[in-house]
A and B are shown apart, each in its own frame.
Chain A
């Protein structure tokens, strides 16, 4: 019997939208045999948000103080213990899931499949390699437990309206003491849409030229109600923080509208935006590879073009 244990991602208060996307993936091959595990301290609120996702059978809440920070070394043995009752264990292919799931797999003595983008059956999947330049069909052995991460940009969020039951579980396991959480440094601006969940994203690249010039990008994003992203070059140059990076090693996103400003379009960046509905590119270099994937391209000086576009949208 196929049944899925899905590991919830959350910040102690809100369920991360990546979990609802994983539910869609799990439901695509496991029907309603999908349980969500919430590891938290005081996790009732998060568990209730998970319980509201349509298509989920039940929520397992593992509440203990050690589960407050999302440390892979602490969570993995608990996930491995719960995994006994399931054929599949899934997590999102976010930094949370990528840190945790391989550790879980190794504890279970099995391999791990990264970045599921489609499931044909419970044991046949598609995943990207070479920064999305090739897609492989993968067949998994049905006799072996399957641990995997889900490429969240490939799946829509499951809708809410469900009412799965919440079961508190206590796991009698010694947890390692060798890893300690110190702090999370975040300057995430909560007044703006979240980059990974936003329907619209405006990103700036090296062409923006400085941290100060990024104000232009923020102004355009505000006019569109969009989140702000950046290319690796812009992050490396220190224009914006690392959590805004879009691409192979940053965030893989799938907004309805993606506006790339002063971004040349390295393969590693393009892999992060391939699932966007409409890609708009503004760049002064008409040879920039970004125009090969853009639905709407404009060769122009970005400083005048972005200001003009912002004005036009405000009107």
Chain B
């Protein structure tokens, strides 16, 4: 397989507790640490390992958004990707728009495999991989925790509600990563320096023939309902008595 394409989304860092704007217009992003979506980082790690096993020649990372996403692409290059592409747009992007843009990019890059996270930890949509696979009319292996490439096909172990589902897919295909696929490597300082010299191309979303659109409009972003303050008990007797009060145990 010549090429692997990995999609990286710029999101609020995993460790940041998000705060909401008081007017309901969204979450506060000013001054907040941004990172690669952790699931996408796992997808990139998997691509790098496939290349290191000699099963692919090149790893290309792609992101969509404003030039700020170059930061995440540079991190991807520092992890070991060979080159990066920013699909530039200032528009709000729905998963369908992103899938259409990736579909157009796939036509240019002809990857053997597209890897991305199963969901982004901001909008939690869990859609892009499946939509890209549909538009591309290729197989999808979602929520993958183990991936084995064998020539023109791959075996994927998927984390599903009932356990682990194993499927075989013909390549090219789309794979979305679950948490336990691997543990991404740490970036070392010399790699960050090297990454600065790697190619990072920019293409406008419109130049891919894609227009940002969505049938959904977010009209308010608010806090979740709060749970009532609970009680602390001193021992098991206290715990059992509270459970009895709530009618959860007999007695």
Q: Which residues of A contact B (CB under 8 A)?
A: 11, 71-73, 76, 94-96, 98-107, 110-115, 128-141, 144, 146, 176, 178-188, 196, 224, 232, 235-236, 241-243, 248-249, 251, 256-257, 267, 274, 278-280, 282, 291, 293-300, 305, 308-309, 312-313
Contact = CB atoms under 8 A, between A and B. Distances in A.
Contacts of A181: 165-167
A177 to B, nearest CB: 8
B164 A242 contact: yes
Interface in B74-98: 94-96
A106 B96 contact: yes
Interface string B217-251: 11111111101101111111111101100101100
A96 to B, nearest CB: 7
Given A111-B214, A296-B233, A298-B235, A188 B243 contact: no
A298 B232 CA distance: 6
9 contacts: A99-B130, A107-B134, A130-B27, A134-B20, A139-B218, A235-B180, A249-B118, A294-B230, A295-B231
B179 A249 contact: yes
Contacts of A295: 227-228, 230-231, 246
- Chain A's interface: helix, strand, loop or mixed, by majority? mixed
B163 interface: yes
A183 B168 CA distance: 10
A179 B168 contact: yes
A184 B240 CA distance: 40
Shortest beta-carbon contacts, A-B, top 10 = A186-B163, A106-B134, A102-B130, A106-B131, A102-B127, A182-B166, A295-B230, A141-B215, A137-B220, A95-B160
B161 interface: yes
Contacts of B239: 280, 282, 296, 298, 309
B208 interface: no
Nearest to A149: B126
Interface string B143-182: 1010000000001011111111111111001000011100
B201 interface: no
A130 B166 contact: no
Q: Could you say which of B99, B118, B145, B230 has the most chain A C-beta atoms within 10 Å of its C-beta?
A: B230
A264 to B, nearest CB: 14
Given A134-B221, A179-B169, A184-B165, A242 B159 contact: yes
B17 interface: yes
Interface of B: 12, 17-18, 20, 27, 94-96, 99, 118-119, 121-135, 137-140, 142-143, 145, 155, 157-170, 173, 178-180, 214-225, 227-228, 230-240, 242-243, 246, 248-249
Nearest to B250: A313
A99 B121 contact: no
A274 B228 CA distance: 11
B240 A115 contact: no
B224 A115 contact: no
Contacts of B94: 111
A129 B123 contact: yes
Contacts of B161: 94-96, 196, 243, 251
Given A99-B143, A103-B131, A128-B224, A178 B138 contact: yes
A309 B134 contact: no
Contacts of B216: 111, 113, 138-141
B122 A112 contact: no
Nearest to A282: B239
Nearest to A125: B216
A73 B130 CA distance: 9
B124 A130 contact: yes
Nearest to A132: B224
A101 B96 CA distance: 12
Nearest to A93: B126
B125 A188 contact: no
Contact of A243 (B139, B162, B214, B223): B162
A297 B143 contact: no
A102 B126 contact: yes
Nearest to B39: A249
Contacts of B128: 102
Nearest to A299: B232
Given A106-B134, A183-B166, A187-B163, A267 B17 contact: yes
Nearest to A133: B18
Contacts of A98: 126, 142-143
B167 A312 contact: no
Given A73-B133, A114-B125, A297-B233, 13 more contacts: A73-B140, A95-B158, A102-B128, A102-B131, A103-B134, A106-B135, A129-B123, A130-B18, A137-B218, A184-B163, A282-B239, A295-B231, A298-B234
